[in-house]
Chain A
Amino acid sequence: MIRVDTSRCLGCQSCSNVCPSKNIARSETDGKRTIHWIMCKEECDLCVMMCPTKALTLMPWDETEPEGEVSFDLVACKICGSRYGTEPMLQRIESSLPSVIQKDATGLEWIRICPVCRRNIDAERMVEQILPERRRKEWRCSWLFQAGKRGLHPGRMRLLYDLIVF
């Protein structure tokens, strides 16, 4: 059977993923992740080998030993508030990455932000350069459109606009 060192467990669920007999149950309900090790008589140590923190140990069969269970509160994203990862996992990432890249150019701590928000931020940063020009073009178009609706001469309004803006 398997004994769990709950202080070392990351809550990454790799043991549950590799277990061939599905003896490690996991559940995620309202911001809480629970991993439950069901009593297991098999002589397989796949989960022990795969554990990134060596939190699991293979023990001889013992009836009196209670079933192992750990539960983690998932960390909420700093921007959108959705829950995306366990605290020990994020701490492991923080400890293994160099501190220089843990903050980006704007001083944003990206590890505490969920992957969806990271993609959004990346997208906004990439379009930063072309956005002012697009905004100006849109404003010009809507200005000419409004002028046209009011029956003003579009050619003259365009000339006027270009004189004002440039």
Chain B
Amino acid sequence: MAIYIDISRCIGCRCCEAACQMEHDGRGYINMHYVEDLAAVPIFCHQCEEACCITICFMGALHKEGRMTIFEEGKCNGCGLCTLACPFGVVWADKIAHKCDLCQGREGGPACIAACPAQALSDDFDLALQRARSCTARSAAAPGGIR
């Protein structure tokens, strides 16, 4: 499972950030970025298929479980290599590393998806695909065609 985002829906309200911090006792794993005051995009763990953080971790604290990248707190000794090895900069470290765990143990899926008022986040691949398709179709049908 991974979280997908429809950027054209995101209104930049930072609800996902707040929900993530509430869920993880003040440490958020989502960062909201604004580009030119025109677009907002939340940045979070991509749950990479071949994750660099797993390759670099010498303690074996990170491993793949299905499509998720699982982090085990007990094995981490806080070297911070995974923080530097993540191509997207979404692994944090203070004393020990912490990253998005897709709200394991929370009823009703990740908190950010439940909190998003614009339904920009989803964990449904088919829905994300369908939205991307219809977005392309809409822009093709608009005057001027695809630009």
Q: Which of A14, A96, A138 sits near B38, CB closer than 8 Å?
A: A138
Is there a chain B Cβ closer than 8 Å to A78's Cβ? no
Is there a chain B Cβ closer than 8 Å to A123's Cβ? yes
Does the CB pair B96–A17 fall under 8 Å?
yes
Which chain A residues border B143 with CB–CB below 8 Å? 166
Is there a chain B Cβ closer than 8 Å to A118's Cβ? yes
Interface of chain B, helix or strand or loop or mixed?
Answer: loop
Binds A, one of B16-24, B80-88, B107-115: B80-88
Q: Which of B39, B77, B78, B83 sits near A115, CB closer than 8 Å?
A: B83
Does the CB pair B33–A12 fall under 8 Å?
no
For chain B, which range describes its interface: under 10, 10 to 19, 20 to 34, or 35 or more residues?
Answer: 35 or more
User: Which A1-47 residues have C-beta < 8 A from chain B?
Assistant: 10, 12-14, 17-18
Chain A 104-124 per-residue mask, 1 if CB under 8 angstroms from chain B, else 0:
100000110011111110111
Given contacts A93-B85, A97-B56, contact A12 B80 (CB under 8 A): yes
Known: A97-B52, A104-B87, A114-B89. 4 other contacts (CB 8 A): A14-B79, A119-B89, A123-B41, A138-B38
Report B's interface with A, CB cutoff 8 A. Answer: 5, 7-8, 31, 33, 35-36, 38-39, 41, 43, 50, 52, 55-56, 58-59, 77-81, 83-90, 95-96, 139, 143-144, 147
